[in-house]
Amino acid sequence: MFTLERRFHFPSCSLIVRAQRSLLTFWRRSAWDSSLLWEIRFSSPIPETEPGVLKGDTRQIQQLHQMVNHYLTTTLLAQPTTDIPLLGNVTKVLKAQSPPTLSLRGLLAHELHCGSLTSSQPQLLLTATQLADLALALDTYAQAQAEQALWKNTSSMPWRPIALGSSFLVIAAIATGLYWQRSRSLTPVLSTAPAIDAQPRPEQAVIPPPPIAAPSPQPTPQLPDALAKLGKLNPPGSVTVPGRPQPPNTSNVGIRSSANRANSKPSQSQQAVTPSTSTTSEEEFVAVAPPAPQVPPLPPLGASDSIESPLTASAEGTNNLDVPEELFADASAHSPRNTPRSPANATVPEFPPTLPQVQEVQQYFAQRSPTGSLPAAGVKYRLTIGADGALVRLRPLDTASTESLSFLAMPRLGEPFVSSLDNYRQAEIQLHIEAGGQVTTHLKKVQ
């Protein structure tokens, strides 16, 4: 059984329509309507009254719809305008043919006598807006029912494929059952040939494998007495046998099995295929796993560090480095990643190179605070330091930095202000002084 549900929402009430369906009545729309149940919930009732709920079946919702329409057109809207107070006692009771009924308690209040309807209260007091929404809900339901669109949207509901699938399964099960019954009815015909049926079919006959004979000790041949008395001849000299080509190293290579060799350690030649002229039957060959390939042992873990990166190589080959900025940490925070880990790199300049001058430049400007206010974004300069630690060149990186140059205690050109460079002729250091005075330096280039 499936329960279909359709909800209509209005500002002050909701209409919920449900229909119960089974697989057998699924395709009959009339059966849907006959099993229909509805419920109206008023969501914003008049204060001091409980929320009203109305329930009923198909006949009752049609009855309620007719009654509300009749009430509106003949009682409320057709009343002489000055006869009805806004709120008052019951002035006119609709003489409906059957319950439920509506009675006027003023322009803004209407009393619904539920009668045969299932309701939370025998009488519901509806406001004008609630009555309008009730009429709209009933109109909507009636229109959907008239256009057969009440369950139209439910065609896309997820239960529908399930129902279709279930129906298909049931039909398939019935068809299978019928086919099985039919096949059983043919069985006596087949059983009239018991002699044929009793014999195993050739393809079904299982031939047991022949038992493997246990190796028996070979009898030692005894020479005749005449021969035994003769002297033993020396064996001929050895003959050089041409080298046998090595078989391809593939899997499932058969080797000759032997009871004597089973416990012996096989050599490389024994693992090769050695077809014998006297022993060519399959029973004498067994499958063995291919020998493990000879892989040279892995170098120790530290050895991989000795592989030089192209950057390191270029650092060795040239002395001029243009270094991306992101490769450099701040001068105040050098990462151990930048320190070489291999002894092979110990003689090579570090990459990225760690220059103490970067830190010295940072300390130089950190100790000398600007004399004026710097722009909010700070100032940026590119300082070129010579081998003797003197300022060779100063390049502001933007206009604000040019204008703020006078606020900074820049070292004089040609005068050393940091320690001399050991391995390089020049180093370019980028200087960034923030508005708060924080100084950051980066190494940009070395020569």
Give the binding site for other proteins (CB under 8 A): 11, 46-47, 69, 72-74, 76-82, 84, 86-87, 107-108, 127-129, 132, 135-136, 139
**Toward other proteins, which CB reaches closer, 81 or 371?**
81
Q: How far is the CB of 47 from other proteins (least distance, A)?
A: 7
**Toward other proteins, which CB reaches closer, 82 or 185?**
82
Q: How far is the CB of 33 from other proteins (least distance, A)?
A: 22
**Toward other proteins, which CB reaches closer, 53 or 107?**
107
**Toward other proteins, which CB reaches closer, 133 or 428?**
133
Full 3-state SS string of the chain: CEEEEEEEECCCEEEEEEEEECCCCCCCHHHHHHCEEEEEEECCCCCCCCCCEEEEEHHHHHHHHHHHHHHHHHHHCCCCCCCCCCCCCCCEECCCCCCCEEEECCCCEEEEECCCCEECCCEEEEEHHHHHHHHHHHHHHHHHHHCCCCCCHHHHCCHHHHHHHHHHHHHHHHHHHHHHHHHHHCHHHHCCCHHHHHCCCCCCCCCCCCCCCCCCCCCCCCCCHHHHHCCCCCCCCCCCCCCCCCCCCCCCEEEECCCCCCCCCCCHHHHCCCCCCCCCCHHHEEEECCCCCCCCCCCCHHHHHHCCCHHHHHHHHCCCEECCHHHCCCCCCCCHHHCCCCHHHCCCCCCCCCCHHHHHHHHHHHCCCCCCCCCCCCEEEEEEEECCCEEEEEEECCHHHHHCHHHCCCCCECCECCCCCCCCCEEEEEEEECCCCCEEEEEEEEC
**Toward other proteins, which CB reaches closer, 106 or 353?**
106
Q: How far is the CB of 12 from other proteins (least distance, A)?
A: 9
Q: How far is the CB of 69 from other proteins (least distance, A)?
A: 8
**Toward other proteins, which CB reaches closer, 139 or 197?**
139
Q: How far is the CB of 140 from other proteins (least distance, A)?
A: 8
Q: How far is the CB of 87 from other proteins (least distance, A)?
A: 6
